[in-house]
Amino acid sequence: MTGPITDQADVAIIIVSTNEAKWLEPALSTVFAHAGDAELDVVVVDNESTDGTRELVESKFPAARVVDSQNKGFAHANNRGAETCSARYVLFLNPDTEIVDGTFGELAAALDARPDVGMAGVRQLTGDGTLWPTIRYFPSVRRALGEAFGSERWTHRSRWAGERELDLSIYDTEVACDWTSGSFMFCRREALLSAGLLDERFFIYSEEPDLCLRMKRAGWATRHLPTMTIVHHAGKGGLRPKMIAQDVFTRRQYADKHLVAPHRAAYLAAIGARHMVRATAPGGGVGPQRRAAARLALRTLVGREAPPFGAPPQTAISRTRTR
């Protein structure tokens, strides 16, 4: 571990690097430039990187700390960082991001004025400046079915028909949401501790709705706040069948944890329908790589393929099916 531990920090910023050194310099530079009047405790979790992550941070950002972690996934690494912090707020921030507007002082003040808010998301742009929809609604059978039948292409789409809020005009205003993208999760420390840290059974994906649902049950709200804007270089890896299969696997984990049997079965059937449509689509709209990815997702969903990142730990947070 390097860098000073700041006992009086307002905001602890946790950035996990799994060979993400190439993104860290712009990310960390903009983080420090947008501190405002907030005292920051910046932690880079080195997730068994071999690309000089530690050396870059130590040489160019001495105000940051490096925490080593075994590569056991996104949730595990973020938890290892969060456990070393004592700030009032904890931000889980992706390494491939840049802060472009607003300050952490302003964001902390916004949550200070909203004592019922446990987590906030902010405006996110893609690398080409396009607004990215990060306001999300909890997974449900109807939303999964809507997405199976292309609801994001419908001319008029109700909130029940998909998890993403696609009315981009909303993103300039403060609005309640169920959950927000894991690339930027600004958490009140009290809410994070009362709900519990990220569930380490989720190697990557689905840990965000799981955490926000647990916060909601603990009495905390989640909000989208346009107080800050960031760039997130999402989708940089293109279509990756392994990650599509991983998403399906974690959705099954989420359903196992939170949904009662009839709802769980219907939800997983709707997820299966979505990938069945893509796996059997004729040539024109869906390319062969996307069809192959859908077939891999289906095999993973029904247990004919092993989870992309191995079986989850058996000692993580117990199941709490209450819906």
**pLDDT band at residue 316 using 50, 70 and 90 as cut-offs:** very low
For residue range 149-201, list pLDDT tens digits in order: 999 888 888 888 999 999 999 999 999 999 999 999 999 999 999 999 999 99
Q: For the chain, list the strands marked E by DSSP.
A: 11-17, 40-47, 65-69, 89-93, 97-101, 117-125, 131-132, 135-136, 175-177, 179-180, 184-188, 221-232
> How far apart, in whole angstroms, are the C-alpha atoms of residue 49 and residue 21?
9
> How far apart, in whole angstroms, are the C-alpha atoms of residue 309 and residue 125?
29
pLDDT of residue 3 exceeding 70: no
For residue range 44-92, list pLDDT tens digits in order: 999 999 999 999 999 999 999 999 999 999 999 999 999 999 999 999 9
**DSSP labels for 7-59?**
TT-SEEEEEEESS-HHHHHHHHHHHHHT-TT--EEEEEEEES--SSHHHHHHH
Q: Which of 100, 122, 99 is nearest to 110 (CA)?
A: 122
DSSP state of 62: T
> How far apart, in whole angstroms, are the C-alpha atoms of residue 195 and residue 290?
37
Q: For 233-311, list the strands marked E by DSSP.
A: none
> How far apart, in whole angstroms, are the C-alpha atoms of residue 248 and residue 268?
9
**pLDDT band at residue 285 using 50, 70 and 90 as cut-offs:** low
Q: Which of 168, 306, 126, 49 is nearest to 58 (CA)?
A: 49
Q: Tokens representing 23?
A: 């993104």
- Helix, coil or strand: residue 295: helix
Q: How far is CA 24 from CA 10, 60, 93, 202, in A?
A: 22, 10, 11, 24
Q: What is the mean pLDDT of the chain?
A: 92
DSSP state of 312: P
**pLDDT band at residue 236 using 50, 70 and 90 as cut-offs:** low
Residues in CB range of 151: below 8 A, 6 or more apart: 157, 161, 162
Mean pLDDT, residues 9-15 taken together = 98
**pLDDT band at residue 315 using 50, 70 and 90 as cut-offs:** very low
